[in-house]
Amino acid sequence: MFALIDCNNFFVSCERVFNPLLKGKPVVVLSNNDGCVIARSNEAKALGIPMGAAAFEYEPFFSRHKVFVLSSNYILYGDMSERVVEVIEEFDFPLEVYSIDEVFLKLPEALSPDALQELGLRIKEKVEKWTGIPISIGIAPTKTLAKVANKIAKKESRHKGVLFFESAAFADPYLAHLPVKEIWGIGPASDEFLAGRNIRFAKELKEAPDSWIRKHLKICGLHTVWELQGISCISHEEQPALRKSIVSSSSFKEAISEKALLESFIAKFAAKVGQRLRREKAMASYIHVFIATSRFDTNSYYANSIGIRLLQSSSYTPEFIRLAKEGLSKIYKEGFRYKRAGVMLSDIIPTSHLQFNLFSPAPDPMKREKLMGLMDYVNMRYGKDSLYLATEGESQNKGYLRKNCSPRFTTCWNEILKIKIN
């Protein structure tokens, strides 16, 4: 049996823990640069604000309906997420952290239905009491069905936040009314394809023939169908695997045309991926650089990317910056207004597996490691960006737009919650 524990409206719930005035009110949290809506309270959903709504378009709507609009505070959400996981860990079942607001548990088959139901309620109560974050729990024989159970537990208040499918058959009455696009693994493309074939609800998909599904929705689609039938295809992953890629990218507040400025951003992205790579005690041997103009600007759209292979795996920021700049000059074209750029590392291996290249000149790896270690330490001890490479210079003056960001209540002494007693 799998349990999926999912935090309700997670980002909004984190904000509400520290600002109770937000309770019962419509609240939205915006993406970087306050670009679009990435989290909504139930009240905001009820007003019809869609996920991904552009903030500038909705501004009049927000003020008309007194919606609380917050910038995202990822430091706070990340820390709250860890707290939720810590509480769930106390129950001592094999645990998989699936995303910032979701955890799968593998529950023993030996537990009776009553015991499972009761366990669900206990977990819910403890997490809510200890962290202040409301959660929903779905329990079922497969992960996909646990996702369905969770979704319904969240939507229908009669389940009190916990729904348990003893077997796939128990899910049928719900699958009959669940639109296919609400199933985990069915995205917009599959949804459109299925609609064209008159398959609109989960139950119809569940009953479609294997060979037809395999042909049109490929192996992933087939697994989804089997999971709906109660055949577990997606396994429990307790150990997080080593990352396959690390990306740093962002949209710019204002479009950039000058190469020099773009270069300094690319350098900053390269430095950031390098730092994250070292934190994972890993090295990479492939670096990818990409730039693009606004995807909404259809008359002069330009996007390009380039990959460069390193002679030998590395985690040395100056080398990443050098290569990233080299890549940039190959894809940069004058006369465009760039709105987005990024750097990605891949072909990642643990530092302990490093192989030396017989033919590449051997820089002293110990020296490099020492230098990077010192830099990472300074940045950890004295705050990020205390120390950075000169080439990132210009980008440092250009922050993100974050008009209404809450304090880092739980991770920064200067921003800790203050309580006044009169």
Interface residues with DNA (CB under 7 A) are 31-33, 35-36, 38, 52, 54-56, 98-102, 147, 183-191, 218-220, 241, 243-251, 255, 276, 294, 296, 307, 309, 339-340, 342
Counting Cβ atoms within 10 Å, is residue 407 exposed (0-12), middle (13-18) or buried (19+)? middle
Cβ closest to DNA, residue 236 vs residue 367: 236
Q: Do the beta carbons of residue 102 and residue 125 sit within 8 Å?
A: no
Q: Phi and psi of 117, rounded to 5°? A: -60, -45
State the minimum distance, in angstroms, from the CB of residue 115 to DNA. 27
Cβ closest to DNA, residue 54 vs residue 416: 54
State the minimum distance, in angstroms, from the CB of residue 145 to DNA. 13
State the minimum distance, in angstroms, from the CB of residue 116 to DNA. 22
Neighbours of 264 (CB within 10 A): 22
Cβ closest to DNA, residue 158 vs residue 309: 309
Alpha helix (H) ranges present in 157-284? 168-175, 188-196, 202-206, 210-228, 259-279
Q: How far apart are CA 75 and CA 81, in angstroms?
A: 10
Cβ closest to DNA, residue 117 vs residue 379: 379
Cβ closest to DNA, residue 54 vs residue 176: 54
Q: How far is CA 368 from the centre of its chain?
A: 32
Q: How far is CA 157 from the centre of its chain?
A: 27
State the minimum distance, in angstroms, from the CB of residue 102 to DNA. 5
State the minimum distance, in angstroms, from the CB of residue 416 to DNA. 26
Residue that has been written with the tokens 């939720």 in this structure: 84
Q: How far apart are CA 76 and CA 100, in angstroms?
A: 11
Cβ closest to DNA, residue 122 vs residue 152: 152
Q: Do the beta carbons of residue 347 and residue 286 sit within 8 Å?
A: yes
Cβ closest to DNA, residue 178 vs residue 246: 246
State the minimum distance, in angstroms, from the CB of residue 293 to DNA. 10
Whose CA is closest to 140, among 236, 227, 235? 227
Q: Do the beta carbons of residue 18 and residue 31 sit within 8 Å?
A: no
State the minimum distance, in angstroms, from the CB of residue 370 to DNA. 25
Cα Rg of the chain, angstroms = 24
- The pairing of strands 135-140 and 245-256 is unpaired
Cβ closest to DNA, residue 296 vs residue 359: 296
Looking at residue 97, the DSSP 8-state letter turns out to be E
State the minimum distance, in angstroms, from the CB of residue 185 to DNA. 5
